[in-house]
Amino acid sequence: MKETIDRLRSQGGRLTVQRRLILDILESFSGHPTAEEIYAVAKQKYPKLHLSTVYRTIRWLEQEGRLSARRFEEDNRQERFDYTPSEHHHFQCSICKDVIEFESPLMNEVKKDFEDQKDVLVETASLILYGTCKRCRQLFQQEETPYTGK
Amino acid sequence: MKETIDRLRSQGGRLTVQRRLILDILESFSGHPTAEEIYAVAKQKYPKLHLSTVYRTIRWLEQEGRLSARRFEEDNRQERFDYTPSEHHHFQCSICKDVIEFESPLMNEVKKDFEDQKDVLVETASLILYGTCKRCRQLFQQEETPYTGK
DNA sequence: ATCGATGCAAAACATTTGCATATTG
DNA sequence: CAATATGCAAATGTTTTGCATCGAT
């Protein structure tokens, strides 16, 4: 956090109350909030905050490489923001819409494989797996076997 | 194509002039057009076509599983549509924005790996690699070595 | 004091929807 | 003929922008 602030400041950015607040929220938020979600939380602590400031802060962080935008299947109208620094991937359950983050060493093989095949340079990878999570699968199986009372 | 039409028709859909035209365009389009791009081409052959019809046709095909929507880094405001039937992945060059489609048997390993690890069921995977394509890398390297005249 | 950031309102943009009319099967 | 798709216009929802003012360095 301190590190992020220092780095951003050295880039010429100014550390306003609003930005500090939004950074705090991103830091503590588990999952991938939308701009509106960040705004809703931030507004409680700083009521005169405007949604456009949230967007501007997000775009600033994005440019600095501190955050990335994603769209999941669900409600793909709104962007969701991912503040996690290291490369990772996502799984989204098509039923409950929950997202699981994961790392995959195998993905490096996939990248290398493609690089060799097409003579390109791969810098980043964005992978989203879709399927059914453990809980939803179990619930679904129960429904599939209707209760007969016998 | 015929197959697609038959299947769509058996699902209760009606084969209008507009739909046939849009299907034709999707069939012949290389790459991943936006709704506006499809509309622009289609309108030439059928001037009274409306953009909303393009969207409705797209959503219909999407529901029938004949097409899927994607967003690439570049201009992620607009959806792009992918009419290719089999599962495949994408690479986008961050410089020229060109997209290469590819298949990767290794991705099955990635999926299986994750399934076992988290006890979930993976149905589909959406992978986009970002990097620099061969041509752009070569152009870039030339610029990096400035011409001195000596 | 200067330059960048904010709040506000309005614009921009992609996509969707209600409804009367036209077309398909 | 009945049901479904279309064109049009208007609405929706998200993100961006211009501008006057404010605040950080």
pLDDT score of B150 more than 50: no
Q: Which tens digit of pLDDT belongs to each residue from B100-128?
A: 999 999 999 999 999 999 999 999 999 99
Global pTM reads: 0.89
Query: Parallel, antiparallel, or unpaired for β B68-70 and B80-82?
Result: antiparallel
Which pLDDT tens digits describe chain A residue by residue (150 residues)? 666 777 777 677 899 999 999 999 999 999 999 999 999 999 999 999 999 999 999 999 999 999 999 999 877 899 999 999 889 999 999 999 999 999 999 999 999 999 999 999 999 999 999 999 999 999 877 665 555 554
Instruction: Identify from B94, B103, B104, B114 which residue to disrupt to test chain A contact, counting A C-beta atoms within 10 A and taking the largest count.
Output: B114
**Residue with the larger pLDDT of the pair A11 and B48:** B48
pLDDT score of B37 more than 50: yes
Q: What value does the mean pLDDT take over residues B126-145?
A: 86
Kindly determine whether the C-beta of residue B16 is less than 7 Å away from any atom of nucleic acid strand C: yes
Which is it for the CA torsion B94, B39, B65, B105, positive or negative? negative
The Cα–Cα gap between A108 and A118 comes to: 16
Shortest CA distance from B94: residue in chain A: A123
Q: Do A124 and B129 touch (CB under 8 A)?
A: yes
Average model confidence (pLDDT) across chain A: 91
The Cα–Cα gap between B119 and B95 comes to: 39
Kindly determine whether the C-beta of residue A61 is less than 7 Å away from any atom of nucleic acid strand C: no
Q: Note the CA–C1' distance, B98 to C7, in angstroms.
A: 39
A102: phi then psi, degrees, rounded to nearest 5? -155, 160
Q: What value does the mean pLDDT take over residues B37-51?
A: 98
